Copies of this chain bind each other. A is one copy, B any other.
Amino acid sequence: MGKIEDAIRQKEFKDPYNKAVVNLLYTHSYLVTIQNSLFKPYDISPEQYNVLRILRGQNGQPTTVSSIQDRMLNKMSNASRLVEKLKTKGLLIREECPTDRRQVDVVISEKGLNLLKELEVKVEESNRTLIHLNEEEVAQLNDLLDKMRG
């Protein structure tokens, strides 16, 4: 039985709203712990995986660093440094934008596409099994999350 009160050994919360914040923080930790162990053998972090997915979503079109930043799950993350890491690994190509030399064109590489293809299957399967809800409940969860952010 996975009630949050037991997980962190706290008897009660001020109100259901304060409980929900703690519950979300704890659930996030549950998620990323599973994700990390999944990504570990591939020498890539969940954040780097996410950047690769954003790049592939562009269908070969170059993307700027700020556009990546925009689409990231964590808006405060540092796309510039993540791109640098992925470039070192040969998973993307980064070059100066010809029309605006402030910008940088980023494109996923063949190696990046292959890694993504291989990893994606495992991630999608993991995501399905790690959420112990039926179809109706998970749809409800999505609606509540969308709504709670206002």
Binding site for B on A (CB under 8 A): 2-4, 7-10, 14-33, 57, 70-76, 124, 127-128, 130-133, 135, 137-142, 144-150
Decide: A139 near B16, CB < 8 A? Known: A8-B72, A22-B73, A146-B2.
yes
Residue of B4, B25, B32, B131 touching A20 (CB-CB under 8 A): B131
- Beta-carbon contact of B148 and A71 below 8 Å: no
Q: Which residues of B contact A144 (CB under 8 A)?
A: 133, 137, 140-141, 144
Q: How far is the CA of A148 from the CA of B130 in the complex (A)?
A: 8
Q: Which residues of B contact A17 (CB under 8 A)?
A: 127-128, 131, 133, 138
- Beta-carbon contact of A73 and B25 below 8 Å: yes
Say how many copies of this protein the assembly contains: 2
- Beta-carbon contact of B133 and A18 below 8 Å: no
- Beta-carbon contact of A24 and B28 below 8 Å: yes
